[in-house]
Structure formats: C-alpha cells, structure tokens
C-alpha cells in the first residue's frame, strides 16, 4: 500500500511512524519539515494539567495517548538513537496570588470530576519542592509523575527514523492540490508541478490543510502562540526540576524545564492573525513567568518562536475518512504533541483500513471531521463549510 502523508509536523511524522509498522510505503510531503506548530510546542504530556472547563470529550483521548507515550517515546528514541528529553518529574500548577488560588481550587474540582487525582498544596510546600518559586505563589496543584518531552527532538527523531527506512521518501515541496478520480482522492499535486499518486492520502497539514485545493474545508482557525526558550546561567542550573504551570492574575503561563537545562516559557494564545512575534506577548510572558519564577530574568533568551496552532471549534482534532482515498488528521490545537501517538496510530489505521478497537468508546465520533457539517453536506465541497450543526454544548455533552 502506497500512502502519502501531507505535512511533516509531529502528527504527520507520528502517522508515518505507525504506517511503517503496518507495512505501508510512505511518501511525506512538506516544504519545511518539523518547523510548524510542533517546533514551538513545549511538550507537556500532561492530561490532568490540560483540564479546562468544557472539554470533557477531549480527556479520554489525552489519557489514552498519555498511556501510549512511554512505549512510543522509547521506541522512537531507540530507532533514532537520540535522547528525547522525556521526563516524569511532575507538574506544579501554581497560583500567582490568592485570587488565582481560588480559580485553581475550582479547576482542581473539575480535574477530580474528570477522574484525575490531584492535590492542592500550600505555597510553602510548593517552594520546598521547587525552591525557585516566588514567595508570592499562594498554592499549587501537585501532579506527581506528569511527563514532558522535547518536541523538537521528537520531530527530528521521527524524521530521521522514518526517512532512513526503505520505502520511505521525503519530498520538500508544498502540496497544492488533491488529485481526484471522480470523487476519490488518488494523489497530490506539488508546488513544483509534480504529481504524486498513491492508494491513500493522509492530510496532516495542520492549519494549512484548508489551503490545499480539493481538501475538505474544515472549521480550522489559526491560534497563534509565542514561546521563549531560556537558558539559565550555569550557577543557577537547574532552576526548575519539574513543569511549572500557573495562573497569574487569571492568565495561563507555563515553564517547562528540560533535562539539558533549557526552560520553555509559554504560551500566548492569539487569534489576531499576526505571524510576527508581538512585543506585547513577549512582555506578558516574561512578566507573568517572573511572577512565578523570578530567576528566569537572569536566564538568556535562546530562542523566540511564533507559530499558529490549528484550532477547531471544540478543541478536538479532526481524524477521519473524507473519501475512499483520503483521510484527514489535523486540528490538534494545543495538544499535538500529547496526542501524537493516539492520532498517529488512529490515522495510520484509518488509512490502511485496520480496525482501531483500542480507542476509547465514543472517540471516533468525538474526532469525526464530519461533526460540524449539516447532514446534507457530507461531501465537503471546497468552499465555506456549513457549520449549522455546531453546538457549543457538544463539547460538554458527556458531562450531563
């Protein structure tokens, strides 16, 4: 079976990884592999800390993927012979002040209702385990064993592993059009004029998926984010040993330390369409970050990355079959790294017609690319989609 994967972000690459195990021949198409949203991502594999109100159908997916991660990461690290910065040092979700602590208590209740066992500890207790925390931190949710990974290393390792395989090909071009035979996708036209045919095409092009002619027009939106990579001075290393997430005057901020001393500070969430790095976003990240960990101001800024995440109306991805030659796997929003094993395996199995009996009950419906279309618009015409079936209550349905 010949499969084209459009997009070499972490989803396209993990899809290719699982396709390899299922014996497919794979061609990956991406003009700049591994430099999209995954290049910005911090790499928290932290389902409990990702709990926010009204995203209940997302949790089973996050939990399933988190459970797949240790084996996935070990195999990828082994195949590429690189360290992926995978740790299980845990997370503290910190309250910047006492008002933030109240919000944190409510969040913790939502986590409990979603089946995540977490505990609130005092600010002093938090500082005992992470001495770099500010004296102003009023309390924290402690999530021991929470994991993180370096997404840049994961992407590089996946790219190296899959492209070193015979039967694998990476084409550094942009996919501009899905080739069709009637209603059925039979290949991809590239920006250099080439046409590549295959038995199956999987669209993993993130927020650029809709720009491909003939592709299903999904209700994707670009949610821009800005992320700083910091390096603490040698005498202050390690500044942090576990992931610090926080609420600061109601705003979210996180600091993810890597085993190699790098600290990822993020993340803004903007729908302003600005592809550049706004001064205000950097100012806000540094201001909020230093409210939790004052020592970051002594660190060097090694890198500032701005990327668009592919957001969906209910923050769930779109994973499903579009026609008998095409599967879509995009819209992972801020969960692409966490959901990579889940989405990669599911997308690969969908493309090859394998049965995915391992996914949580109801997950296939939760991620269906058809869930926002009217019943009469099942063919996804290549123009503005019909969103009439979109109901904000959908995402909280299972709570009732």
- Catalog residues that contact a copy of itself under the rule CB under 8 A: 228, 230-231, 233, 274, 276-280, 282-283, 286-287, 290, 296-302, 304
The per-residue b/e assignment along 277-290, b for 16 or more CB within 10 angstroms, e otherwise, is beeebbebbbebbb
Closest distance between a copy of itself and the C-beta of residue 301, in Å? 5
Q: Which two tokens stand for residue 159?
A: 């790219």
Cβ 290 to a copy of itself, closest distance in Å? 7
Nearer to a copy of itself, 300 or 365 (CB): 300
Tokens of 265: 């500070």
Tokens encoding 242: 């576990």
What separation in angstroms does the CA of 120 have from each of 93, 111, 142, 322, 352?
9, 12, 6, 45, 45
CB of 136 to a copy of itself, least distance (A): 17
Q: Six-digit token pair at 333?
A: 């929003």
Return phi, psi of residue 107, to 5°. -65, -40
Q: Is the peptide bond before 238 cis (omega within 30 degrees of 0)?
A: yes
- To a copy of itself, the closest distance from the beta carbon of 276 in angstroms equals 3
Nearer to a copy of itself, 117 or 234 (CB): 234
Q: 340 — phi, psi (to 5°)? A: -60, -45
From the CB of 277, what's the least distance to a copy of itself, in Å? 5
CB of 274 to a copy of itself, least distance (A): 7
The CA distance from 22 to 12, in Å, is 15
- 302 or 399: CB nearest a copy of itself: 302
**Beta pairing partners, 169:** 27
User: Which CB atom, from 149 or from 230, has the smaller least distance to a copy of itself?
Assistant: 230
In terms of CB distance, is 124 or 275 closer to a copy of itself? 275
Cβ closer to a copy of itself: 117 or 279?
A: 279
């Amino acid at each position: 079976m010949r499969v084209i994967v459009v997009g070499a972000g972490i989803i396209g690459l993990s899809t290719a990884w699982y396709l390899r195990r299922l014996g497919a021949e794979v061609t990956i198409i991406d003009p700049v592999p591994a430099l999209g949203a995954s290049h910005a991502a911090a790499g928290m594999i932290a389902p409990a800390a990702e709990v926010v109100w009204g995203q209940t159908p997302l949790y089973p997916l996050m939990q399933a993927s988190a459970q797949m991660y240790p084996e996935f990461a070990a195999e990828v690290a082994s195949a590429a012979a690189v360290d992926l910065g995978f740790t299980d040092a845990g997370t503290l979700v910190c309250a910047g002040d006492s008002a933030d602590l109240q919000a944190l208590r409510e969040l913790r209740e939502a986590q409990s209702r979603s089946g995540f066992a977490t505990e609130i500890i005092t600010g002093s207790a938090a500082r005992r385990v992470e001495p770099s925390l500010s004296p102003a931190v009023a309390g924290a949710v402690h999530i021991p064993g929470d994991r993180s990974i370096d997404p840049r290393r994961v992407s590089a390792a996946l790219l190296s592993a899959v492209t070193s395989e015979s039967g694998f090909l990476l084409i550094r071009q942009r996919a501009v059009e899905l080739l069709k035979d009637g209603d059925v996708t039979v290949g991809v036209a590239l920006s250099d004029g080439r046409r590549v045919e295959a038995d199956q095409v999987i669209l993993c092009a993130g927020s650029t998926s809709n720009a491909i002619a003939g592709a299903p027009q999904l209700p994707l939106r670009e949610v821009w984010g800005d992320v700083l990579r910091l390096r603490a001075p040698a005498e202050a290393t390690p500044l942090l040993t576990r992931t610090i997430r926080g609420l600061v005057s109601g705003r979210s901020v996180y600091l993810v330390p890597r085993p190699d001393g790098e600290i990822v500070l993020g993340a803004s969430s903007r729908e302003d369409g600005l592809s550049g790095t706004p001064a205000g976003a950097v100012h806000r990240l540094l201001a909020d970050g230093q409210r939790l960990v004052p020592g970051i101001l002594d660190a060097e800024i090694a890198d500032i990355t701005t990327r668009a995440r592919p957001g969906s109306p209910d923050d769930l991805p779109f994973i499903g079959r579009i026609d008998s030659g095409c599967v879509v796997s995009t819209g992972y929003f801020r969960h692409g790294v966490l959901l990579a094993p889940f989405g990669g395996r599911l997308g690969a199995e969908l493309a090859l017609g394998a049965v995915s009996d391992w996914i949580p009950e109801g997950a296939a419906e939760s991620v269906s690319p058809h869930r926002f279309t009217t019943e009469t618009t099942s063919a996804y015409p290549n123009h503005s989609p019909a969103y009439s079936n979109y109901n904000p209550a959908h995402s909280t349905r299972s709570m009732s």
